[in-house]
Chains A and B, each alone.
Chain A
Amino acid sequence: MPSIRSSVQWFCTLWLLLPGLLFAQSGNAFLSPDLLQLQNDASRNPTQLWVEQGLEIWGTPDKKGACVDCHKSANQLQNQVTQFPKWSVEKQQLINLEDQILACAKRSGQDYKSLEHPQVLALSALLHQNATGKTFNLKPSPGHEAQWHAALNAGAQEFTQRIGRMNLACNHCHDQNIGKQMRADVISPGHPTGFPIFKMSWQGMGSIDRRLRACYSGVQAEIPAPGSPVLRQLELFLKVRAQGLPIDGPSLRR
């Protein structure tokens, strides 16, 4: 039975979602004309290198691969992609798609260790590419609603918590200053529809986990370790906030 307190929390979370809904634009809408042109040209878009690599790793019925034996075609997992982060009973915390890829790979004898391993990102790029156009579909798994709601609220709280030497919360930029320029960048609402991303300043591919950690660095706050619960909670909140926006597939960022 939800208490008054959790109802208030839930109401506050809904309120926080409002600006995100008003500025329902993918990060791709904030790309410069040059980068947008590159994004839309599959023969030159750097992310395609990872998607092709993902296909190689996945395998086909005729050619051996790490995933095809269990999962058959990568296309069949479109709906699953939209459901992450999910509550993991085993880990007693939320897990995202890259966490799941690591777990699956380990089961089949490949210990990639890092969320940012090129092969993990390649598989993530492939799966997100196949899910292009689908909207996020985040729901608690039966029997774990309380944990899921608690995680969502924690994410909402983190989004509005001032952090770092700059003493800024996420909403200061990503709700209150959308469209304004910050050095070379134009501030977007921060909807996570384009992951995994090829970020020009990284000169490489990265997951949402890496990008969120970079945000902490950006406000000169202590950076959570990769895979930290707070990062998964933030991811859940961001994806709920982005509900209704279609997945873009792996995208370029400045």
Chain B
Amino acid sequence: MSKNIPTRLAFAGPLKEGATIEARWSAAHPMDSGFRVDDSGNKIARNIIHTVKVLLNDRLILEADLGTAMTSPVYLAFPLQVPAGGGVLRVLWQDDRGQVGETVQRLIL
């Protein structure tokens, strides 16, 4: 039973060839650490996004292993250099239940 996880990917900085911009990625994943209990006192099972891969024009630029200390929603902002002609940034994620997702954003110069 997979839930729809809304994500967003935004850029901050000049979209010019060679410029360094900041990519800001958020995912509204519950990021249940496994330490919390619900209203009835039952332990909420651990389910976090554990792996994030970032591809710029299909080239892997960043791999991240996330632990339970990452907030919900997950927020990760990292720099990248705008390639000539712009392109596409893809952020792929996977959680403990095996659910995967992808956030895509075009880099339009």
Binding site for B on A (CB under 8 A): 43-44, 46, 48-50, 52-53, 56, 118, 122, 203-204
User: Taking the complex as formed, is B71 at the interface, i.e. its CB lies under 8 A from any CB of chain A?
Assistant: yes
Q: Are A49 and B8 in contact (CB under 8 A)?
A: yes
User: Taking the complex as formed, is B6 at the interface, i.e. its CB lies under 8 A from any CB of chain A?
Assistant: yes
Contacts of A44 in B (CB 8 A): 24, 26, 75
Q: Which residue of B is nearest A213, CB measured?
A: B39
User: Taking the complex as formed, is B61 at the interface, i.e. its CB lies under 8 A from any CB of chain A?
Assistant: no
Kindly state the interface size class of chain B when it binds its partner. 10 to 19
Q: Are A50 and B28 in contact (CB under 8 A)?
A: yes
Complex alpha-carbon distance, A56 and B72, angstroms: 21
User: Taking the complex as formed, is B19 at the interface, i.e. its CB lies under 8 A from any CB of chain A?
Assistant: no
The majority secondary structure among interface residues of chain A is helix
Q: A44-B24, A46-B28 are in contact. Are A204 and B12 (CB under 8 A)?
A: no
Contacts of A50 in B (CB 8 A): 6, 28
Residue of B6, B7, B72, B75 near A204 (CB, 8 A) is B72
Contacts of B26 in A (CB 8 A): 44, 46, 49
Complex alpha-carbon distance, A43 and B77, angstroms: 11
Q: Which residue of A is nearest B71, CB measured?
A: A203
Contacts of A46 in B (CB 8 A): 26, 28, 73
Q: Which residue of B is nearest A38, CB measured?
A: B75
Minimum C-beta distance from B102 to chain A (A): 15
User: Taking the complex as formed, is B59 at the interface, i.e. its CB lies under 8 A from any CB of chain A?
Assistant: no
Residues of chain B from 17 to 55 with CB closer than 8 A to chain A in the complex: 24, 26-28, 30-31
Complex alpha-carbon distance, A53 and B73, angstroms: 14
Q: Which residue of A is nearest B24, CB measured?
A: A43
Q: Which residue of B is nearest A45, CB measured?
A: B26
Contacts of B72 in A (CB 8 A): 203-204
Minimum C-beta distance from A197 to chain B (A): 14
Contacts of B24 in A (CB 8 A): 43-44
* Cβ contacts A to B, 14 pairs, < 8 Å: A43-B24, A44-B26, A46-B26, A46-B28, A48-B8, A49-B8, A49-B27, A50-B6, A50-B28, A52-B6, A53-B28, A203-B31, A203-B72, A204-B72
